[in-house]
Amino acid sequence: MDKTISVFQKNKFQEVRVGIREFKGNDLIDIRTWTMTQGANEMVPTAKGVTINIHLLPDLRKALEEAEKILKENKML
């Protein structure tokens, strides 16, 4: 499967894309920064990102929920 799930702006020139990808028979979650190429109107992926096996999604979700909890406790969100 190769499917983009979500896209959101990081800044004026970059966006973050979250997707499900297949690589060498492994299903992966890919969270990556995409940027505008100079002189073109096309976004390209950068090396900045993380790709993990889909089986690690529960661990990633737990870590993000904990980060959100801490940020809220500290009135940062």
pLDDT tens for 51-62 read 999 999 999 999
Asked whether the predicted pLDDT for residue 68 surpasses 90, the reply is yes
Residue the block writes with tokens 């966006």: 15
* 33 confidence band (pLDDT: 50, 70, 90): very high
CA–CA separation, 4 and 69 (whole Å): 27
Q: Give the CATH number of the domain where residue 14 resides.
A: 2.30.31.10
* 28 confidence band (pLDDT: 50, 70, 90): very high
Asked whether the predicted pLDDT for residue 72 surpasses 90, the reply is yes
What domain range includes position 30? 3-73
Model pLDDT, residue 26: 96
Q: Which residues share a beta bridge with 45?
A: 34
Number of domains in the chain: 1
Q: What is the pLDDT of residues 2-21, one digit of tens each?
A: 999 999 999 998 999 999 99
Q: Which whole-number Å values give the CA distances from 77 to 25, 69, 70, 72, 73, in the listed order?
A: 39, 9, 9, 5, 8
CA–CA separation, 19 and 26 (whole Å): 14
Q: Do 29 and 52 touch, CB atoms closer than 8 A?
A: yes
